Amino acid sequence: MDEKDFYRLLGVERGASDDEIKKAYRRLAQELHPDKHAGDRDKEEKFKLINEAYETLKDPDKRARYDRFGPAAGPGPGGYGEAGFGSDFQDLFGEVFSDFFGGGRRRPQAERGADLRYDLEITFEEAAFGAEKTVKIPRTVSCETCSGSGARPGTQPTVCTNCNGMGQVRFQQGFFSISRPCTSCRGTGKVIKDPCSECRGAGKVRATSTLTVKIPNGVDTGSRLRLTGEGEYGERGGPPGDLYIVMTVLPHPIFKRENDDIICEVPISFSQAALGAELEVPTLDGPVKLKIPAGTQSGKLFRLKGKGIASVHTGRRGDSQVIVRVETPAKLNKRQKEILEEFASISGEDTNPQRKNFFSKVKEIFE
């Protein structure tokens, strides 16, 4: 391949648009950049060639001259070739390689502190009705002794003479000037000659914050509360991070939750189910009377409107679902057995309609 075939160097057709040429150059420049291939002369030469190609093809006049006469015609006014790295290239270079060079020489920027997470266990009732909880959060905070400067009270940090307060220094690598964080001041731009005795120059200390957390009603396991500014200390005057309280609701001995409804299974006796009864059943608001009709079957669900959990979004309360479970007597005395045997002997099919229906279907299947 002709080393001076600029189109082939960039991998584009001769009729390629300016945008296609620019995209091809960006891709190749990132791939062949000397920072990625230190000491590889072949990659350096290819990098120079694609820059030469781009400098020529991005300029309409240079491209027209190149298309007509080829590289033998020479650069002409303004030039193209190895030395042709103009200001336009520098602009694009800064855009493409800002990750390599840290975006140029900029003064140290304020950085927001890290977010924190705290896992909080709450009871079923606290989740349903809300609560206030006190939590202790270990985190970094600004040192009160030096007001976060890191310097002993009465003194101030001085400007780093190595980087002149920029936090970055430049050095030459190949034919590029590259910026890196200053090692003397660790990128802060300032040097603390007389550090604070409390934080030892860090400007921050570990402390335990005691916070009161208001839990809204209706939260569930996995719900998160955000406390703005209660996270880690921000660097170089940056704002602190946030604290996220993540809920875990402890199980309840008799209630279960289904969305905003609560479910409670209530055992009843055989006689209560057969004859009917009025029971006191538990709800979140206390006992409520529930009428059980005669002939109630095990698993029957009764719904108590508005006795569930308030929605954390709308505030509307769900329902309480009461499921009755008919309990078969486990231990019978002689007289109880006699009564049940007598009951069984005089019971007809009309007494147990579900049993009658079931065995009718079985009979149809196997006939």
Higher local confidence (pLDDT), 357 or 252: 252
Tell me how far apart the 2 most distant CA atoms of the chain are, in Å.
121
Residue with tokens 């029971």: 279
Contact 226, 214 (CB under 8 A): no
pLDDT for position 172: 64
Domains (ranges, CATH) in the chain?
6-101 (1.10.287.110), 116-145+199-249 (2.60.260.20), 256-366 (2.60.260.20)
Higher local confidence (pLDDT), 44 or 367: 44
For 55, the token pair is 């400098």
pLDDT for position 351: 60
The H helix count followed by the E strand count for the chain is: 10, 15
Tell me the per-residue pLDDT of 148-172, one tens digit each, with 9 for 90 and over.
888 899 888 888 888 888 888 877 6
* Residue 300: CB atoms within 10 Å: 16
Strand partners, 120: 247
Average pLDDT on 229-245 reads 88
For 363, the token pair is 């009979």
pLDDT over 90 at 290, yes or no: yes
Q: What radius of gyration do the chain's Cα atoms show?
A: 40
Which strand (E) or helix (H) includes residue 322? strand 320-327
Rounded to whole angstroms, the Cα distance separating 286 from 71 reads: 92
Residue type, 274: A
From 105, 110, 79, select the one nearest 94 (Cα to Cα). Answer: 105
Residue type, 6: F
Tell me the per-residue pLDDT of 127-156, one tens digit each, with 9 for 90 and over.
999 999 999 999 988 888 988 888 899 888
pLDDT for position 103: 46
Classify residue 315 by burial, with Cβ atoms within 10 Å: 0-12, 13-18, 19+: exposed
pLDDT band at residue 85 under the 50/70/90 scheme: very low
For 116, the token pair is 């924190």
For 1, the token pair is 């391949």
Neighbouring residues of 134: CB distance < 8 A, sequence distance ≥ 6: 210, 211, 212, 213
> What is the crossing angle of helices 60-69 and 41-57, to 10°?
100
* Residue 347: CB atoms within 10 Å: 10
Contact 195, 151 (CB under 8 A): yes
Rounded to whole angstroms, the Cα distance separating 67 from 14 reads: 8
pLDDT over 80 at 356, yes or no: no
Q: What is the DSSP letter of 208?
A: E
- The HSE-up count of residue 164 (CA atoms within 13 Å, CB side) is 4
pTM, entire model: 0.59
Rounded to whole angstroms, the Cα distance separating 46 from 51 reads: 9
Neighbouring residues of 199: CB distance < 8 A, sequence distance ≥ 6: 143, 145, 146, 150, 205
Rounded to whole angstroms, the Cα distance separating 296 from 294 reads: 6
Contact 183, 170 (CB under 8 A): no
Average pLDDT on 299-309 reads 95
Average pLDDT on 321-341 reads 91
What is the phi/psi pair of residue 237, to 5°? Answer: 85, 5
Pairing of strands 131-142, 204-215: antiparallel
Strand partners, 30: none
Strand partners, 149: none
